[in-house]
Chains A and B, each alone.
Chain A
């Protein structure tokens, strides 16, 4: 038996919003520790790694490991039926071929359940080694979303260059070029609004704008985003979801031809 209850369905709605442009289907792996998902987009350029820890749920029970292959389009349709203030419970029997979503309004006057067929997905998993990154940049997630949106008007790629002076995001295209430089926040009063740059080695890497824009669909999950970079390895864009886990996106860089 698997059962996981969240007081706020909005977290699950936002998680889905954050992955559905990249993935059409994905496997949710549930065990004692919580729910994990790892999946690549069709072109194998980006990878989503989601963790929702058991202790972040209002109620969590998982007697046996459960693997649930879900069509994310269908899951999106179902979650649209939940009110933002509804609680949501996901339930599945051991070895079941369906999952049930139960939505309850705050006063319990409305209870709805939606059963969805599961899929047998044979998706490739990648082993991601623990990595010490040369540069990590923390910044307000809304600022990162704004930059990606602004720069993607000019070109298809964004060059991210992190040096001891700060971090620079650049692009160029038919109409011209654009650069945004961010320096570390001088005095940190509010941590959520700070830009914090840690750099051991300077790094410059180039990434496709389109994917960065997909990642920013996670903005509402967290006030801050962290970018981790090292030379010649994928970028990690991490949104920490308060009290429950994180969503990480890995993006392969563009390389010299």
Chain B
């Protein structure tokens, strides 16, 4: 089913 990623896997913190 897959593991839930978080947005930090894709976007950098400002």
Provide the residues of chain B in CB contact with A61, threshold 8 Å.
Answer: none
A255 B7 Cβ-Cβ under 8 A:
no
User: Scoring A residues 52 to 72 as 1 if CB is less than 8 Å from chain B, else 0, what string do you get?
Assistant: 000000000000000000000
B9 A252 Cβ-Cβ under 8 A:
yes
For residue B2, which residue of chain A has the nearest CB? A254
A45 B2 Cβ-Cβ under 8 A:
no
Complex-state Cα separation, A208 to B14, whole angstroms = 26
Given contacts A124-B13, A126-B14, whether A208 and B7 have CB atoms under 8 Å apart is no
A221 sits at the interface (CB 8 A): no
Provide the residues of chain A in CB contact with B8, threshold 8 Å.
Answer: 44, 126
Provide the residues of chain B in CB contact with A128, threshold 8 Å.
Answer: 11
- Please tell me the size bucket of the interface on A: 20 to 34
Provide the residues of chain A in CB contact with B13, threshold 8 Å.
Answer: 124-127
Provide the residues of chain B in CB contact with A255, threshold 8 Å.
Answer: 2-3, 5, 9
Complex-state Cα separation, A57 to B11, whole angstroms = 31
A126 B2 Cβ-Cβ under 8 A:
no
Majority secondary structure, A binding face: loop
Interface of B with A (CB < 8 Å)? Answer: 1-14
Complex-state Cα separation, A207 to B3, whole angstroms = 10
Given contacts A125-B14, A126-B14, A127-B14, whether A257 and B3 have CB atoms under 8 Å apart is yes
Complex-state Cα separation, A233 to B14, whole angstroms = 18
B10 A252 Cβ-Cβ under 8 A:
yes
For residue B12, which residue of chain A has the nearest CB? A127
Provide the residues of chain A in CB contact with B7, threshold 8 Å.
Answer: 40, 44-47, 126, 234, 250, 252
A126 B3 Cβ-Cβ under 8 A:
no
For residue B6, which residue of chain A has the nearest CB? A44
Given contacts A43-B6, A44-B7, A47-B7, whether A157 and B1 have CB atoms under 8 Å apart is yes
Provide the residues of chain A in CB contact with B5, threshold 8 Å.
Answer: 45, 252-255
A206 sits at the interface (CB 8 A): yes
A243 sits at the interface (CB 8 A): no
Provide the residues of chain B in CB contact with A257, threshold 8 Å.
Answer: 2-3
Which of chain A's residues 150-164 have a Cβ closer than 8 Å to chain B? 156-157
For residue A125, which residue of chain B has the nearest CB? B14
For residue A255, which residue of chain B has the nearest CB? B5
The answer, among B3, B10, B12, for a CB contact under 8 Å with A254, is B3
Complex-state Cα separation, A250 to B14, whole angstroms = 16
